[in-house]
Chain A
Amino acid sequence: ELQLVESGGGLVQPGGSLRLSCAASGFTFSTYAMTWVRQAPGKGLEWVSSISGRDDTTYYADSVKGRFTISRDTSQNTLSLQMNSLRVEDTAVYYCAKVLTAGGTNMVFDYWGQGTLVTVSS
């Protein structure tokens, strides 16, 4: 059974750091592009970052560029999001998602994790 399980969320002060993880199972993790999408409380979906399934090229929303880093560990089947210099406006549920087809950057998301809540507040 395919599963994506996020962890690492919590309460952090503005300017702090947090590392999110997404444990993947049930598919060949190394060959699929993966993505982080966030949802602020009561708001819509916002794309954060993606990593290619072909060559691990990374992509970022302007709102997080230079502060967040996406990476994958294929030995552990884990996707990560290192979040530095956190701001109040980064408060959201963070979802990891898998794309529909292997290879490249086919950004259709067919499986999502349950999400992990990040709260940035003093």
Chain B
Amino acid sequence: EVVLTQSPATLSLSPGERATLSCRASQSVNIYLAWYQQKPGQAPRLLIYDASNRATGIPARFSGSGSGTDFTLTISSLEPEDFAVYYCQQRYNWPPLTFGQGTRLEIK
């Protein structure tokens, strides 16, 4: 099973700042990593797939990078609506599909 470890667990930043979220895989997942955003009481929303492809309708301030075992989600300039929990998910080696434990992005 591929274990995804996200860091930090919580990130405290202010609107306008740059956010960098990390996801590390226990073995290579090639580029087959996705990022999701989840707000309280809502379903997850796809942001990035295959490491660096933005999903339809996702603002350009969201970008993804990485391959193999190390991946990064960057939000270039935080908007108030970006404060949420972010999850990574791999689809390279499954079943099982696996998610990271999440990074909570909170307002400082």
Please report A residues at the B interface, Cβ cutoff 8 Å: 35, 37, 44-47, 50, 59-62, 95, 100, 106-110, 112-115
Please report B residues at the A interface, Cβ cutoff 8 Å: 34, 36, 38, 43-46, 49-50, 55-56, 87, 89, 91, 94-102
User: Do B34 and A108 touch (CB < 8 A)?
Assistant: yes
| Chain A residues with CB under 8 A of B44 | 37, 45, 95, 109, 112
The total number of A-B Cβ pairs within 8 Å is 57
User: Do A50 and B43 touch (CB < 8 A)?
Assistant: no
| Chain B residues with CB under 8 A of A46 | 99
| Chain A residues with CB under 8 A of B89 | 45, 107, 109
Tell me, rounded to whole Å, the shortest Cβ–Cβ distance linking B37 to chain A.
11
| Chain B residues with CB under 8 A of A50 | 95, 97
User: Do A45 and B46 touch (CB < 8 A)?
Assistant: no
User: Do B46 and A47 touch (CB < 8 A)?
Assistant: no
| Chain A residues with CB under 8 A of B43 | 95, 112-115
| Chain B residues with CB under 8 A of A110 | 46, 55-56
| Chain A residues with CB under 8 A of B55 | 100, 110
Q: How long is the Cα–Cα vector from A96 to B76 in the complex, in angstroms?
A: 31
User: Do B95 and A60 touch (CB < 8 A)?
Assistant: yes
Sample of 29 A–B contacts (CB below 8 Å): A37-B44, A44-B99, A44-B100, A44-B102, A45-B99, A47-B95, A47-B96, A47-B97, A59-B95, A60-B95, A61-B95, A61-B96, A62-B96, A95-B43, A106-B91, A107-B94, A107-B97, A108-B34, A108-B49, A108-B50, A109-B34, A109-B36, A109-B44, A109-B89, A110-B46, A112-B45, A113-B43, A114-B43, A115-B43
| Chain B residues with CB under 8 A of A60 | 95
Tell me, rounded to whole Å, the shortest Cβ–Cβ distance linking B93 to chain A.
11
Q: How long is the Cα–Cα vector from A106 to B46 in the complex, in angstroms?
A: 14
A47-B34 contact given A95-B43, A107-B91, CB 8 Å threshold: no
Tell me, rounded to whole Å, the shortest Cβ–Cβ distance linking A81 to chain B.
15
